[in-house]
Chains A and B, each alone.
Chain A
Amino acid sequence: MSAPLPLATDHPGQVAPAAPPAPGRSRRLSDRGLAAAFISPALLLLLAMSVFPLLWALYLSFTDYSATRGGPAHFVGFGNYTAILASAQVHQRALTTLIYVVGAVGLQTVLGFTIAYLISRRTHGRGLLTTLFLVPMMLSPVVVGLFWRFMLDAQFGVINSMLGSLGLGQVEWLTRQRTALISLIVVDTWQWTPFIMLIALAGLTAVPKYLYEAASIDRASEWFRFRTITLPLVWPLLLIAVLFRAIEAFRLFDLVYILTNGGPGVSTETLSFHVYKVAFLGFNTGTASAYGILMVLVVIVLTQLYLRYLNKLKED
């Protein structure tokens, strides 16, 4: 690049006098200026809409401010934080969230990878199959939540109707403590299995064919091939997908809101849902902010993990 440059810079001078004023001084300046001019509006919007609100929440988390009561906010130090960390209610929500995240993401990973593996072994109709399997993922959580609520209805829901015709008993899916959480996991699994499937499929189709051919020449067993070729090569990408889903599942709010509204009792209240209740039904803005900041910390840790793996994947 460096050699032809001096030759070429005098080129426009001779041939294209109509070209805009000499680059020389202004070019280097404009490169930096251009970068700043192009990047700063985007960063400003993010600062205003993401960073500033979080800083405000951070400030509020040290006060007893309430959005409805109004009035000045009193500084309470770490009071909100200690109250939340010591609260048995919060512990219970954390457990519910943990069960939900592990259950849903685990199921999705197993199912999604299985489907991807089965599709990758087909030679015909791959495109069509993939497209069909992807439909649930593209739907809004509102649509998904509403529709499953209808299907899981104890009286006229189609799921119970099918169970009935199979001679099985009726299940009160959304109105019993244990089944409600299971229903939530099932619905989330239904919606997001395609996500894992899509990423796993991308990984599976990227495995070089010659590895399998070499292995089959050596008469390696199917399981051996899967264990030593497929899994190691797909694993890094799969891990990215799993972490991504874990973050999303941890933040989950809309599906709970639509499907069970946290009930029955508090059996399906996730941390997100609890924050909402504290903030918008209890109007303890200060406490809710501290609660939210703690959630953000967890998300930041998970995101760092995710970005680190992503970085590793990109460098390979």
Chain B
Amino acid sequence: MAVSVDEAVSAGPVRDHTPPARRRGGRGRSVLEVALLAVLAVVMLFPVLWMIQTSIKENRDVYAIPAKFFDFQVTMDHFKDVFVASGGGRSALSVSFLNSVVVAGASTVLATVLGVPAAWAYSRFAVKAKKDQLFFILSTRFMPPVVVVIPIFLMYRQVGLIDTKLGLILIYAAYNLPFTIWMMKGFVDEVPAEYEDAAMLDGYTRLQAFRRFTLPLLVPGIAATAVFALIFSWNEFVFAIFLTSSDDVRTAPPAIAGLIGGTTVDWGLVAAASVVFALPVLVFAYLVRKHLVAGVTLGAVRR
């Protein structure tokens, strides 16, 4: 940094006359920056707003040319169609939402139950080739799903896990485990090991010290990690579409994607289903916003 300061000093006198002009320019630039930011925000959010709007539009307004931005008929029919089948009773979509809840929930629980103790062990003990093990674990998460799914498909066909929720739960747990371990290791590292040492001096075993003293302190971290795992499983599509086919097993992403299979597409229904599908994710993401950087980099980058 010393070098840059020197350079800055030598650059100083030359621009002696500029400050007043720059200040005025600064305000103009500030306005420009806010305007640019506003434009970018509109561009980024427009598709989301358009999706929400489409989900509450009457069908003829959905397909209106030119597109109607404000003067359209509001209806909740699309949302009703998401949950209720045309002949009454439960729609296939609502069943798929339920499947998604089960699969995402169970796989998250499994990944957490396996991942948290492993993260604790990696954080506390001198494990052989620890760094290599951790990097190996993370690298399994980067394998292209399309490639992994080929042998998984054959494997599942052998053992009868094709088109079952258990099959999906297992693959999603394996998919979330690297993330859970990395993310949780960061949280465990933040809890001083001295707590456990002190507890052990009081006569607790290592395991008891972990359960009674460290684990309660990890609960917020576990919750944040589980929420991310939940979001990843909830949004996952590739394994779901290749490993399941029947309506009573299929999760929501392939079910929603299936809506555009026919010759005519009911875009109002697609929009409503997408809104219902995305809403919990946005709520959950908002809850863990403090940990977003760590979460989206699979626990690798922490601030």
Contact = CB atoms under 8 A, between A and B. Distances in A.
Interface of A: 1, 8-9, 11-12, 16, 18-20, 23, 26-27, 30-32, 34-35, 38-39, 41-43, 45-46, 48-54, 56-57, 60, 67, 111, 114-115, 118-119, 121-122, 129, 131-143, 145-151, 155-156, 158, 161-162, 164-165, 190, 193-195, 198-199, 202, 206, 211, 214-215, 218-221, 224, 228-229, 237, 240-241, 244, 247, 250-251, 253-254, 257-258, 272-273, 275-276, 279-280, 285, 288-289, 292-293, 295-296, 299-300, 302-303, 307, 310-311, 313
Contact of A164 (B66, B145, B259): B66
B67 A158 contact: yes
Contacts of B242: 280
Interface stretch (B74-82, B213-221, B231-239): B231-239
A148 B46 CA distance: 11
Given A35-B121, A139-B278, A49 B37 contact: no
Nearest to A41: B114
Contacts of A151: 47, 50
A42 B34 CA distance: 48
A39 B278 contact: no
Interface string B157-185: 10000000000001101110110010000
B177 A42 contact: yes
Interface string B193-208: 0000100111111111
A123 to B, nearest CB: 11
Given A190-B47, A198-B296, A289-B150, A50 B66 contact: no
B237 A303 contact: no
Contact of A202 (B131, B208, B289, B293): B293
B37 A141 contact: no
A236 B128 CA distance: 29
Contacts, number: 315
Contact of A42 (B114, B150, B171): B114
B73 interface: no
A218 B5 CA distance: 7
A43 B132 CA distance: 13
27 contacts: A8-B201, A16-B202, A27-B205, A31-B125, A39-B127, A42-B115, A42-B177, A42-B181, A46-B140, A56-B155, A60-B154, A118-B36, A136-B44, A145-B257, A146-B270, A156-B62, A162-B67, A202-B293, A215-B5, A221-B11, A224-B7, A240-B301, A251-B142, A251-B145, A251-B146, A302-B142, A307-B138
Contacts of A211: 1
A143 B237 CA distance: 10
**For A19, A118, A138, A302, which residue has the most chain B Cβ atoms within 10 angstroms?**
A138
Given A42-B118, A206-B303, A289-B150, A215 B145 contact: no
A31 B206 contact: yes
Contact of A251 (B65, B114, B138, B144): B144
Q: Which DSSP category, helix, strand, loop or mixed, fits chain A's interface?
A: helix
Nearest to A16: B203
B25 to A, nearest CB: 10
A23 B270 contact: no
Given A27-B200, A220-B12, 11 more contacts: A20-B204, A34-B121, A35-B121, A46-B177, A56-B154, A129-B37, A134-B289, A135-B45, A143-B256, A146-B260, A224-B7
B234 to A, nearest CB: 7
Given A138-B281, A162-B67, A254-B238, A54 B292 contact: no
A54 B205 contact: no
Interface string B224-257: 0000000100110110011000000000011011
**For B122, B256, B265, B278, which residue has the most chain A Cβ atoms within 10 angstroms?**
B278
Nearest to B172: A49
Contacts of B265: 150
B257 A218 contact: no
A254 B238 CA distance: 6
Given A12-B202, A240-B300, A300 B253 contact: no
Contact of B147 (A57, A129, A161, A307): A57
A86 to B, nearest CB: 20
B277 interface: yes
Given A131-B289, A147-B47, A229-B4, A161 B303 contact: no
Nearest to B66: A161
A76 B9 CA distance: 70
Contacts of B253: 140, 142
